[in-house]
Structure 1
Amino acid sequence: MKREMRTTDFLDRAVDLYDDVTGVVAHDGTEYTYAELDARVNRLANALAERGIEQGDRVALLAPNTHYFIETLYATNKLGGVFVPMNYRLTAGELEYILNDCAADIVIADYDFADNVEPIREEVPAEHFVGYEADRIDGEWRDYEAVLSGQSTAEPSRPDISEDDDASINYTSGTTGDPKGVVRTHRTEHWHALVLNQHMEIRDDDTYLWTLPMFHCNGWGHTYAITGTGGTHVCQRTFDAEDTFRRVREYDVSFLCGAPTVLNNLIQYHEDNDVVTTGDREVRIATAGSAPATATIETVEDEFGWRIIHIYGLTETAPIITTSNSPRRLAERGRALKVKQGAETLCTDVRVVDEDGNDVPRDGMTVGEIVVRGNQVMDRYLDKPEATRTAFNDRIEGYFHTGDLATIDEDGMVAIQDRKKDIIISGGENISSIEVEDALFDHEGVLKAAVIPVPSEEWGETPKALVVEQEGADLTETDLIEFVKGRLANYKAPTSVDFVEDFPETATGKVQKYELRDRYWEDEERMVGQG
């Protein structure tokens, strides 16, 4: 028989089997059992329905790692709505684009980030604005807890949800033009959680610490996987190394995630402080974004006593499509295997192909593009049929093209060598170099600009701007960095600027960024940031 795969299955199972188990620990330490969490989800769902939210409507959320992020996710899904988590580091202009692009019907925002929504309220389609601790927000916002108060804890009327219905839209940095909305269905979210469970070894006695932003692909799917398995979520609003170690000990955390920059910050704090790194249980940490350095792996595993699981993927793939978490291969090849992105996950077809769509030799040397098929891969880009068609048919038909250039060895282990797309991954955040270049070109003193990733001990890699000045201009590094920060989220701004006479270009005038990057990465093991 066939049973529809729905995201609501995960909370339903947790309530059926683990109703008296602590499901969520809020940032302030307030604990909610799964039964209590479900009651709050139902209150919110009924409140949203009262405000006219129906199947297919978009509920946008701007929040850090909080209990009400999880509540909003499941309340939206129960109504058949579409959940739109937004990066809380974006500027008002960037949020305005997203809210218009997804046609948001309601916006829920945290008090720390609502100020970037307030000035654009009249420019977006949303009719309702709800704020967590609204008394701390300037403007007219309905308070989140007041909205829940008085609402029934009974299940809302659930529509007939198909597994092919849209469940969420996650926005990713576009390599050209505006950001793209990655549409994920109930089926793709469901499959991703199942794959995640397998390869992250998630169990019902796990305590998961939220250091990874929940808005990233709905927290890489852990919002679903941890819940459905019956584990406990421990919320940390935003990452802080000291607080992370404290929560690991206090709540006996067994699992967390962190980009290489998180690992590096934890290492730095550990070096500067006499700190206990675990509770009573063993700890494992999943990392992605860029390969961790061998020295980082050694410190985390040998000094912290934590086990690193390296995974790879993209927003479009939800993201996990490969992992180096293979005890068999690790026993054969040693810890160095963990710097590779790994082999394909369960029920996932990962290939590395040349320009003609043919598989490259499995020699660990020949470079091609990573392409993938799998049930966890996105449905489409929102309202961008041509971009969707290209993404699934560029070199080979029916595979999503990642834009990452890699080798593959005899064991099917891929290792990224470079990126075809103009994307910089800094501290786990995707930054479109073209978007930053566009901002630089708005400065009247800039004649030419190219933005590339350069090595960073703290972030893995960081944006550097190479600039050719207009004749007579007298620019400084500080001027240009502050200029970009006035137009884009701060994390997208270059952290350094080099002024050059000109760029190496092709016959058609295209900047040869590979040659530019070579100058800054010649002493590194890989062209991709490694922390």
Structure 2
Amino acid sequence: MSTSIYDRDLPKTPANYQPLTPLSFLARAGAVYRDHTAIIHGRQRITYSEFYARARRLASALGKAGIKRGETVSALLANTPAMLEAHYGVPMAGAVLNTLNTRLDAAIIAFSLEHAETRLVLVDTEFSGLMKEALALLKGKKPIVIDYVDSEFVPDGARLGAIDYESFISGGDPDFAWVMPEDEWDAISLNYTSGTTGNPKGVVCHHRGAYLIAQGNVLTQQMQRHPVYLWTLPMFHCNGWGYPWSMSVMGGTHVTLRAVRAKAIWQALAEHKVTHLCGAPIVMATILNAPEDEKTKLPHAVEFTTAAAPPPEVVLARMAEAGFNVTHVYGLTETYGPAVVNDWDSAWDALAPEARAAKKARQGVNYIPLEALTVMDPETMTRVPADGETLGEVMFRGNIVMKGYLKNKQASEDAFKGGWFHSGDLAVLHPDGYVQLKDRSKDIIISGGENISSIEVEEVLYKHPAVQAAAVVAKADEKWGESPCAFIEIKPGASVTADEMLDWCRKGLARYKVPKHVVFAELPKTSTGKIQKFKLREMAKNV
């Protein structure tokens, strides 16, 4: 077998080849930006040298607790220093970080812990009640529990474990020789998707993808040295879109918020001279609808990255007036968060408002680290015409696509059929290559940046004794982007009110999944009895 002269006697060696990992960003920042503030949390200030030392302490402590390479460490934490440290310290121990959605119910938390085979879990005492309930549902061996006590904000939270976080990491070595991945394909994180049917799927991400998405964020946002990032996006959501790692690239400052509140956001923007933040439409609504006495004149334009439903033109105009430049992105948990960006052409600024809004409504083009993005017929695996009209499925290919679904070979094979990742989202392809979503084949509703399965909500509705048929669709929502709208057909002779149905839903669903609107009507069906959701979506517009 002949080889090129460029393959001969030129092997990979430790000197010229190392696996890519975002952990190296913090190691560099700890030396280069050692005295620069890395984290601001209430009255706390943590420099980069301290951040790096604390992450190594956590990694060391995990090793002493018996956590081995490839084992799972879960975290039920708010946006806090501990959550940022976990994004480095857990993989520095060779383990895999599983961030848990604090808004889920105990049954789903319990499923995630068991499915991930979690060995140790970090628990914010604000959520100790939720975790206690979840732990009680576990059938096998329970994980070690480490309590995180955020005393400035949650001074009276209940304790579940034998040791608190600060005591735990104090037993770790600040100079710990942390573990590099053996291969950049090694798992770095596990994130559970909202299940469309049955249990959620565990999305496994690798070091290479985390490294690339972190740099992709920096390039997409054109970040300069020492950006200041305000944490309004939950870090449990797709690992905070990779921003826990992105900030270390440029020696940026994390300003952490436990909850999205208008007054706290505006105070942070002014006090810390925030340059960047991310969030769903609900965050924009929170900022814009704040009382005037809570707002402040911003000294510079703040970059705001939003996902989910594209912002209406009027909202973009109001954000610009308030001092924000909005960038619209799109992605999935399976693509490390944002993998598509509405790359704005300044020439479009001159367009009439309606034409400009049409440009803004498009999801866009591939992120720099994503190899390819297109819209294809999922049956023939051929690209649809770039006519802005022909529907197809959004397909992704590249290094910021997940490894696959944990312990779910069939789902992984289905997702990667034909050499592309099948998103399940239906879209059109415009002549200039920009993608625009038109529907979601799995009927996912994106509310406040979180996925809600219409099927899951319908299952709860169907359990009510008065319900004969039910269907849930997305309704445009100025505050949340989208919200669930439930259409219900009542059994003959039965009676139930909308308030009673909402109370019923609250007992079986996480709060954010409860329908915002309930409509009693005969559901439109095909000749075979299938509910016609496209008609319901039209009806929802007038609710």
TM-score range, shorter chain: over 0.9
TM-score relative to the length of structure 1: 0.92
Query: Which residue of 502, 514, 521 corresponds with 1:481?
Result: 502
Pick closer, same or farther for the CA change 1:329–1:416 going to 2, 3 Å: farther
Deviation at 1:387, TM superposition (A): 1.2
Distance 1:329 1:359 in 2: 28
1:392 paired to 2:411: no
Moved more, 352-361 or 207-216: 352-361
* 2:394 alignment counterpart: 370
Distance 1:509 1:399 in 2: 34
Amino acid of the structure 2 residue aligned with 1:434: I
* C-alpha contact (below 8 Å) 1:449/1:465 kept by paired residues: yes
Distance 2:529 2:103 in 1: 34
Deviation at 1:504, TM superposition (A): 2.4
1:283 paired to 2:298: no
Amino acid of the structure 2 residue aligned with 1:377: V
Amino acid of the structure 1 residue aligned with 2:30: V
Deviation at 1:411, TM superposition (A): 1.6
Q: Could you report, residue by residue, the CA deviation over 1:298-336 in whole angstroms, capped at 9, with x for unpaired residues? A: 1101x1121111111111111222112334554575853
CA RMSD, Structure 1 to Structure 2 (Å): 2.0
* 2:3 alignment counterpart: none
Amino acid of the structure 2 residue aligned with 1:38: Y
Amino acid of the structure 2 residue aligned with 1:341: Q
Deviation at 1:206, TM superposition (A): 0.5
* 1:292 alignment counterpart: 311
Amino acid of the structure 2 residue aligned with 1:133: V
* 1:510 alignment counterpart: 530
Distance 1:61 1:277 in 2: 37
* 1:107 alignment counterpart: 121
Deviation at 1:232, TM superposition (A): 0.8
1:323 paired to 2:344: no
Distance 1:216 1:127 in 2: 22
* C-alpha contact (below 8 Å) 2:93/2:178 kept by paired residues: yes
Distance 1:14 1:508 in 2: 62
Unaligned runs of 5+ in 1: 524-531
1:238 paired to 2:259: yes
Distance 1:380 1:260 in 2: 29
Amino acid of the structure 2 residue aligned with 1:77: P
Distance 1:410 1:223 in 2: 36
Query: Which residue of 442, 448, 456 corresponds with 1:435?
Result: 456
Amino acid of the structure 2 residue aligned with 1:91: D
Q: How many residues align?
A: 515
Distance 1:166 1:497 in 2: 42
Pick closer, same or farther for the CA change 1:474–1:141 going to 2, 3 Å: farther
* 1:188 alignment counterpart: 209
Q: Could you report, residue by residue, the CA deviation over 1:234-289 in whole angstroms, capped at 9, with x for unpaired residues? A: 1011111111111010000011112112112211116x4462142x3331110111
* 1:126 alignment counterpart: 142
1:491 paired to 2:512: yes
Pick closer, same or farther for the CA change 1:138–1:80 going to 2, 3 Å: closer
Q: Could you report, residue by residue, the CA deviation over 1:75-122 in whole angstroms, capped at 9, with x for unpaired residues? A: 101011010001101111121111111111111111111211112324
* C-alpha contact (below 8 Å) 1:6/1:161 kept by paired residues: no
Pick closer, same or farther for the CA change 1:160–1:289 going to 2, 3 Å: closer
Amino acid of the structure 2 residue aligned with 1:358: T
Pick closer, same or farther for the CA change 1:119–1:275 going to 2, 3 Å: closer
* 2:5 alignment counterpart: none
Distance 1:480 1:244 in 2: 35
Deviation at 1:295, TM superposition (A): 0.5
Distance 1:444 1:7 in 2: 52
Deviation at 1:126, TM superposition (A): 3.5
Pick closer, same or farther for the CA change 1:329–1:115 going to 2, 3 Å: farther
The 5-angstrom pairing of residues 71-470 of structure 1 reads 71-124=85-138, 125-133=141-149, 136-158=157-179, 160-269=181-290, 272-273=292-293, 275-278=295-298, 280-301=299-320, 303-327=321-345, 330=348, 335-336=356-357, 337-348=359-370, 349-355=372-378, 356-393=380-417, 397-470=418-491
Distance 1:347 1:310 in 2: 17
Amino acid of the structure 1 residue aligned with 2:112: I
Distance 1:522 1:161 in 2: 56
* C-alpha contact (below 8 Å) 1:132/1:144 kept by paired residues: yes
* C-alpha contact (below 8 Å) 1:285/1:307 kept by paired residues: yes
Q: Could you report, residue by residue, the CA deviation over 1:463-515 in whole angstroms, capped at 9, with x for unpaired residues? A: 011112233322121222122221221101111211223x2233443322112
Distance 1:67 1:330 in 2: 40
Moved more, 200-209 or 350-359: 350-359
* C-alpha contact (below 8 Å) 2:213/2:369 kept by paired residues: no
* 2:82 alignment counterpart: 68
Deviation at 1:160, TM superposition (A): 5.0
Q: Could you report, residue by residue, the CA deviation over 1:117-152 in whole angstroms, capped at 9, with x for unpaired residues? A: 112324434331111129621544521112123432
Distance 1:431 1:357 in 2: 28
Residue 168 of structure 2 aligns to a residue whose secondary structure is helix
Distance 2:462 2:539 in 1: 23
Amino acid of the structure 1 residue aligned with 2:520: F
Residue 406 of structure 1 aligns to a residue whose secondary structure is strand
Unaligned runs of 5+ in 2: 1-15, 151-155
**Share of identical aligned residues, percent?**
37
Amino acid of the structure 2 residue aligned with 1:224: W
Moved more, 436-445 or 132-141: 132-141
* C-alpha contact (below 8 Å) 1:167/1:184 kept by paired residues: yes
Deviation at 1:172, TM superposition (A): 0.9
TM-score relative to the length of structure 2: 0.91
* C-alpha contact (below 8 Å) 2:387/2:431 kept by paired residues: yes
Distance 1:436 1:89 in 2: 15
* 1:527 alignment counterpart: none
Distance 1:411 1:464 in 2: 35
Distance 2:297 2:127 in 1: 31
Q: Could you report, residue by residue, the CA deviation over 1:182-222 in whole angstroms, capped at 9, with x for unpaired residues? A: 11011121121122221121232210000011111110010
